[in-house]
């Protein structure tokens, strides 16, 4: 059994009438974005300072802030899900949010499933598709490093 500090989950299929205690361990703080049988969640160990930053009203995107024991270490953790047949506006939204962090010392981690098997995550690729254009903007223009 793993003992993760932070868990990002996608395609949770949760509804508002399903409580956190029914599914998640009590030693985690759980943040959720339930939406039309899909949804995302982020669970953070209770001993880690965290708070919700924002929830996107249109897409399955949820962002929290995690503070390290040293105040200079602050992380933005973003959980996201894009269905395979959904348009790429969700990536545009992520790119716009990331651009707004330009002068921030906060570090960001984006986790989830964007369902983009054709995307080039290893370097600036030719922007022959709308999705790749937004990926280039999201990842490379903001100094991110994919893992």
Q: Where are the domains of the chain?
A: 6-140
Sheet holding 6-10, edge to edge: 6-10, 40-45, 28-33
Question: Whole-angstrom Cα distance, residue 25 to residue 111?
Answer: 21
Domain 6-140 sits in CATH at: 3.60.10.10
Predicted confidence band of residue 6 (pLDDT cuts 50, 70, 90): very high
Question: Whole-angstrom Cα distance, residue 28 to residue 17?
Answer: 19
CA 24 to chain centre: 19
CA 26 to each of CA 7, 81, 102: distance values in angstroms, whole numbers, following the listed order: 14, 25, 36
Question: Whole-angstrom Cα distance, residue 108 to residue 131?
Answer: 20
Proportion of the chain above pLDDT 70, given as a percent: 80
Read off the pLDDT of residues 52-106 as tens digits, 9 standing for 90 and up: 999 998 899 999 999 888 877 888 999 999 988 888 888 888 877 766 655 455 6
């Amino acid at each position: 059994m793993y003992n993760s500090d932070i868990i990002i989950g996608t395609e949770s299929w949760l509804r508002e009438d399903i409580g956190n205690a029914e599914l998640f361990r009590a030693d985690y703080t759980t943040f959720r974005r339930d939406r039309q049988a899909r949804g995302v969640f982020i669970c953070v160990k209770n001993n880690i300072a965290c708070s919700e930053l924002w929830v996107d009203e249109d897409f399955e995107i949820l962002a929290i802030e995690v503070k390290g024991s040293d105040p200079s270490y602050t992380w933005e953790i973003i959980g996201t899900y894009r269905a395979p047949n959904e348009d790429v506006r969700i990536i545009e939204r992520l790119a716009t949010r990331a651009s707004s962090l330009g002068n921030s010392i906060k570090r960001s981690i984006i986790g989830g499933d964007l369902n983009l098997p054709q995307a080039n995550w290893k370097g600036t690729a030719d922007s022959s598709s709308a999705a790749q254009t937004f990926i280039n903007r999201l990842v490379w223009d903001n100094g991110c490093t994919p893992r």
